[in-house]
Structure formats: C-alpha cells, structure tokens
Amino acid sequence: MRDYLKFYIGGQWVDPATPKSIDVIDPATERPAGRISMGSAADVDRAVQAARTAFASYSRSSVDERVALLERVVGEYKKRYDDVAAAITEEMGAPVALARDAQAAMGLAHLKTALQVLKGYAFKEQRGSTLLVKEPIGVCGFITPWNWPVNQIACKVAPALAVGCTMVLKPSEIAPFSGQIWTEVMDAAGVPAGVFNLVNGDGPTVGAALSSHPEVDMVSFTGSTRAGVEVARNAAPTVKRVHQELGGKSPNVILPDADFKRAITSGVRSVMNNSGQSCNAPTRMLVPNARMAEALAIARQVAEATTVGAPDSGAHLGPVISATQWDKIQTLIHQGIAEGATVVAGGPGKPAGLEVGYYVKPTVLAGVNNQMTVAREEIFGPVLTILGYDTVDEAVEIGNDTPYGLAAYVSGTDPEATRDVASRLRAGQVNINSAAIDLTAPFGGFKQSGNGREWGDHALGEFLEVKAMLGFAPKAPA
C-alpha cells in the first residue's frame, strides 16, 4: 500500500490544510493500492504563493542554469525509471511492458526533447532598433489526466522549467502515484524551492481553485472537452492564458490503393493500445465500401488476436481505469448495437475468465454511419468503429464531420493522393502511413480538441510572453 499523504510546496513535504484522504483503486484487482490526501483551496493558495515568490528569481535564471537543472532532472528520472513504470502499472493497470517501454519512456523523452530545444532556443530577436524578447509567462497551473499520466506531466513541466516558469501540478486523483514519484525526482534534482509544487485533489475543488486563482498566469489542462470548458470558464475572470489538450474522435482514412493488411492491422492495434485510453486514437476507420468485406476480415483477425489480462501476464491489454469508465464503455457498445452497428469482434461484457478487474473485450463495430453515437462520442476504450465510403471526397467529408480535431490518419500507396487527403483533414496532427512518433512535432487540436500546442519548440512558446522594447538599438561595433 502506498500512502502519499503530503503535498510538495515551497520545496518541502507538507501536510494538507485540512486532513482528508481517498483510496486509489488498482483497476486490475478492484482493491485499494494506496491513499492520497485531497487538497483544498487553501492548499492551492499556499502552493501558488510559493510559486509566485520563486518566480522572481527563477524567471531571471540563465539558459545555462536551466540546462544544468534539466540535465539533473533527466539523471534523477533515470534513477527512478523502474519506480515510475511500476507506479503506472499499479495506478492504471497498464501492462508491464507498456508501462516500461511507452508510458515511462515518454516522460524521459519529453525531458530530453525540452533540454535539446532549450540549448538552441532564441529568446531574443533584434529588428532594427526594436528588441523582441520572449519572457516566461509566470506561474502556471497544470491539471493532468490519468491515461498517460507521466507523459502529460512531462510535456507540461519540462518546457515550463526550460523557459523559467514556476508551477503548481494537480495530477489525476485516480492515477496519482507516478506524479508523486515525479515530484520526488524534482526534489532530488534540486529544483529551487517553490519552482515546482504538487497538490493532489479533485477537479471541482483543487482544479477549480487552481484555474481561477488570480496569481496563476496560465493554466494548462489535459482531459475531456467537458472538463476543459469548465477550466476555461473558471479562468475567464482573470483573463489568464488557457492551454487545452482535449478529446478526439480521430478518422483513419484507408484509401482504395492502400496496403490493407498493413494499414488495417496498424489501425486496429493503435485503437487497442493502452486499452483504448488515448485521446488521439484512430477510432473511426473509413474504408471503401467496395473492399469492406476484406477490411472487416482483417480487423476481426487482429482484434481477436489481441489478448487481455492482468498487467503482469504478458497480455496486450490490461483493464481500463475504473468502474465508471468500464460502465461508460459498455453503455456505448450497447447503444451502438441498438442504433444498428454490427459486432465484428468483442462486444459487451468482460472477457472470459476476467470477472475481477475492469477488463473490456477488444471490440470492432461495423455497419456504422457517422451520425451514430459511437461515431460521435469519444468512447475512450478498446472500441473501433468502421465506416464505409464510396469516394475519397466523401471520406474526407466524413472524416471532418466531427466536433473534434486532435488527430487524423491516412494510408495509401500513391504519395501525391495520400498527401492531398492529409492536407484536407482538419486536425492538429495527421499521420501518414503509420509514421513513427516525432517528439518535436507540435501536438494539439483543432475545434473542440483544444487550443495551443505541446511537444518540441512549440511547447516552449506556449509558456512565453513576447515583449517589444522599442528604441533598444544594437550596440555599436567595437
């Protein structure tokens, strides 16, 4: 059992203003795996004041000093790498290999990327007699989700540290263990007191206090679109910058000339990865009606070969995060069937032999049209919907017919045609032919998938204000 009952404020582990704790449930066993304290507005205020005090000096630190700090953080993270992976497995049921090779790995990768970008980042630009300066925005409030817990912490904290901001983090109360270890890494690396602070708690209490606090200059939130709207509402009276990475219902256009075996296999696996709990998962597969039977046969084979089991069993998929999430997924599967979808693989209920734990069958639904609930709402589980189209123009129209715009995917063998479709899909990141991840490529969405960008140099820019100093003439040559 993990007992994480203190918060990290001003460089010290401190007790909450009002003692209150909750159990953290292991989704693989449905039993408590530990406890955390639940913070209040008083705890948030204390953390924000610590961050405000620290900002005066940390915002004036040199690039070399911040490079050295990030190098220490990288070193300490490596020491705790296995602990981070184990925590993610325990808090969200991620298979051991996924937690080690993807979840924990993304935390380290974002740290290294921010470090490399910082080393060459231009904070000043001379334009005639005017000097443009990029300065840290100030105190940042971070509200992060449970599905990729360390990934989302790292892609906010790393660039903010890099540019000289101070911050208060509220990780998900459902999966808080990895955030605790991350904080221990910050402490061990010697992050100056008050620069990084941790307050656990829920969204309506700690999240609302953080996003509405007048001394917070920016709030960065990752989660559902519904919750993102509340964050923006809370932030509006203080006119702070709001950065949001929200939901998705990403189209995956399989062009008529695509390598169907490769493209559909990749598409199914991408949806099932992390038990379907990824905001950029390609959950709407668009297939030519003329090749639908072939596509369904491949999708069925891949889904049925996807194993589900305990995190340490070697299975591809572990459980989903909670009973609430399991119920939501089941409701949407049933609704899809009621609206006319056909179950190609999986379906309602738990996999055989997995009565304990929040396990979901890898599910493929066909006969779906874009007005069905399962094609409109983010299911956030291992559920793929397959839709048919007759022309490429129709595929693009269906792909864009969504309130979301986080990611899109397209596969084809004709480079020009494939790139043309990619250019027409309205999403923040478009993947062509299952391209490898690029940690320097900006990540974020169009429409109700949010605003702002994370990853790489664009991430640093999110945490900077631009100051123009007119009459700041360059020095005369010696």
What is the set of active-site residues? 245, 279
Helices (H) and strands (E) in the chain, counts: 16, 21
**Residues whose CB is less than 8 angstroms from the CB of residue 201 and which lie 6 or more positions away in sequence, other chains included:** 38, 39, 40, 43, 170, 173, 207
End-to-end CA distance of the chain: 66
Give burial (CB, 10 Å; 0-12/13-18/19+) of 112: middle
The structure tokens listed for 149 are: 């817990």
Between CA 13 and CA 19, with CA 18 as vertex, the angle to 5 degrees is 75
Closest by Cα among 397, 312, 319, 385 to 351: 319
Cα dihedral across residues 454, 455, 458, 460: positive or negative? positive
Q: Which 8-state DSSP code applies to residue 293?
A: H
Give me the long-range contacts of 418-426 (CB less than 8 A, separation at least 24). Answer: 418/255, 421/253, 421/255, 421/392, 421/395, 421/396, 424/396, 424/400, 425/251, 425/253, 425/396, 425/399, 425/400, 426/400
Closest by Cα among 316, 284, 319 to 299: 284
For 148, the 3-state DSSP assignment is: coil
CA distance linking residue 144 with residue 171, whole number of Å: 5
Residues counted in the chain:
478
Strand order in the sheet with 383-389: 342-345, 363-368, 383-389, 284-288, 251-254, 407-411, 429-432
**Residues whose CB is less than 8 angstroms from the CB of residue 343 and which lie 6 or more positions away in sequence, other chains included:** 337, 363, 364, 365
Q: Tokens 């231009």, residue?
A: 122
For 33, the 3-state DSSP assignment is: strand
Separation of CA 400 from chain center: 22
| H/E segment holding residue 394 | helix 392-400
Cα dihedral across residues 317, 322, 325, 330: positive or negative? positive
Q: What type of residue sits at position 323?
A: A
For the beta carbon of residue 214, count every other beta carbon within 10 angstroms: 9
Strand order in the sheet with 124-127: 124-127, 130-136, 464-469
